Structure 1
């Protein structure tokens, strides 16, 4: 692939190829960009609009915060700290509908977990959906309540009770970017549109590679 022209150097694939990676490494980098940088954020935003449409009072407060903080100006990185409710909304979405709903690991030795014997070379999965909706950690865990994330609530949670981006040394390196991206996109759309849920029943989730819905997300956009 020709990468000498300025326009070519702007392509993501061209930038990756300039690092002289192997074919397997290039494929791995591109898969990471598409999966982690697009698919997961899109899933989180879809569920955010569903939750807002199902909770009109919260959606109204969401729009009021946008109007108060942004007016007619597009949101920027500098506005993030002032968009407090939107940050809580996205945090609550990551709790209730974590786009990456399971974290796979491979055991390197025999492990005893509370009496359960797991042999070496066994793939195990950490079920984020179950953890994030555990009543030991969250009051009324099946209810969308962004304001639960006020004050020092997150600091009171046990380690690994909230891990939408994983934990430990393998925490997702795109955490800050993904959070920023989702917040700004939600704010940008919310400035101009209100979304109304058009489904006949509550959404039914279907965990695949990322969190999905069985019957899509039928929504109607209404200009504000």
Structure 2
């Protein structure tokens, strides 16, 4: 074999190795852009606060973004704890905003942070507060907050503990509860005048249950709760 032919074959093999990945693959791709941190602290109004003015300066701790992206905040204020009956939906670049609401009303609110890449943090805790009304001496309790089982979640058949938390801006009020539970989407009354914030029920495999807790203060003022559900394995 001629020297020229040997050199030609060598060059061809080298070029083939390079074209098939034998060379430098380059730097690894950068990590994906991350979401801002969750708003960790609500500054004002705090949980179950009675605001003396219906013009409220909402304040919360600032989020941070791992990538240094600009952050904006979405503030939701609603008439219900699930934040479905929304009265205010604001987007701001600062961690405070002043909003005027109706007097003598219970409100529920939370905040989420997002960056300019469309990444959204988990929502902050949902807190409740009242705006002071003219001549109001007793305020209705807040709707009960769900602890367990998770709304729309799945549990194991057998004994299931329904667990909730009640609250009232009139801190001296003693609260009691009416529990509604069953397989109907509008469940029947199961137990009235409960003083505990939990109740054990028996759940059958394959069933879906719905339940609601109404909160009553010692003046007889009642707040109708929201309907939650869970499915049984």
TM-score, normalised via structure 1 length:
0.20
Larger Rg: 2
Q: Give the structure with the larger strand fraction.
A: 2
Larger RCO of the pair (alpha carbons < 8 Å, separation 6+): 1
TM-score, normalised via structure 2 length:
0.20
Q: Give the structure with the larger helix fraction.
A: 1
